[in-house]
Amino acid sequence: MKIRAVVRGVGHYLPERIVKNAEFEATLDTTDDWIRARTGIEQRHFAAEGETTSQLAIKAAQAALIDAGMTADQIDAIVVATSTPDLTFPSVATMVQAGLGSTNGFAYDIQAVCAGFVFALTNANGLIVSGQAERVLVIGAETFSRIMDWEDRGTCVLFGDGAGALILEAANGSGTNKDRGVLSTDLHSDGRYRELLYVDGGVSSNGKAGQLRMQGNAVFKHAVQKLAETAHTALGKIGMSGEDVNWIVPHQANLRIISATAERMQVPLERVVVTVQDHGNTSAASIPLALSVGKQRGQIKTGDIVVTEAIGGGLAWGAVVLRW
């Protein structure tokens, strides 16, 4: 017998404001066609003035609790992946805990930028497998619109705001790949590549929030190689390959990266959950958002083998294999 962390519910939330590509044409040297051709993005959501990351996270968490048929007081731990917290401290996770009306358990944030949800999911799995928690609420939530340079057409058209949540619960398994739940994880980071993707501000550097800076071509090359490798590694740990995968649910950075990674994994695009056209790149929120949308669409079903993979600033990257 082996303890597995099984998905019990998912949910997401998107801010009301929808920003189409054409909106950028008034202020930038760009067009709807240019953005679509280079990224696959058609629109994204931006948080309203005063709407915070924790507020998005709370609404996604509430949706996940409803989907799981659970109440907040049944949750032992809350792990939030975000790079855009409301405040330097306390954590967004504790704000979510308060917003849900929960006073038991513990809550904390994880920061691995766009790879944040994969790191948080791996961490939550560890909490359950080790017996530290029975039920863990894992959230990815971001308001990247707050750190955009609106004069940089290479970055500001890519990102959006949103939140996604997933609930894991301990369950007894056989210890084989037929078990439901998290089956394998694989994490990496390499700080030598800091300059490829970063924000030029921080508490101990200049006391400012800063703006996002990215070397797009270099990030693309690293992303395609590293995402395929980490997914293959995670699958290889349990004797699986791309042929065994029902769905890839990747970080929704842009369609070219998603397509190239799937090709390297020898998985057809028809078996990839794609939401980037509607949400843009929502950083740590993109995978749980896509999982929730994929379930709503009827794509992801109980028993499916799902691979999630992501890469973000650091660089940090990784993959999780689970049976839904």
* Rounded mean pLDDT, 114-134: 98
Tens digit of each residue's pLDDT (9 = 90 or more) over 157-203:
999 999 999 999 999 999 999 999 999 999 999 999 999 999 999 99
How is residue 186 written in tokens?
């694989």
Residue 159 DSSP code: B
* Rounded mean pLDDT, 283-300: 98
Active site residue 156: no
User: Is the pTM value of this prediction over 0.95?
Assistant: yes
- What are the C-alpha distances in Å from 40 to residues 73, 258, 274? 40, 10, 10
Mean pLDDT estimate for the chain: 97
Active site residue 188: no
Tens digit of each residue's pLDDT (9 = 90 or more) over 257-277:
999 999 999 999 999 999 999
Choosing from 21, 45, 114, 123, which is the catalytic residue? 114
Decide: residue 130, CB within 10 A, 0-12 exposed, 13-18 middle, 19+ buried: exposed
Q: Residues near 298 by Cβ (< 8 Å), separated by ≥ 6?
A: none
Strand ranges (E), the chain? 2-13, 17-20, 43-46, 77-81, 106-110, 135-143, 161-173, 181-189, 197-199, 212-214, 247-250, 305-312, 316-323
Tens digit of each residue's pLDDT (9 = 90 or more) over 192-213:
999 999 999 999 999 999 999 9
Choosing from 12, 45, 232, 251, which is the catalytic residue? 251
Residue 1 has pLDDT above 90, yes or no: no
* Rounded mean pLDDT, 214-237: 96
Choosing from 123, 125, 254, 281, which is the catalytic residue? 281
Q: Helices 286-297 and 53-68: crossing angle, nearest 10°? A: 40
Active site residue 12: no
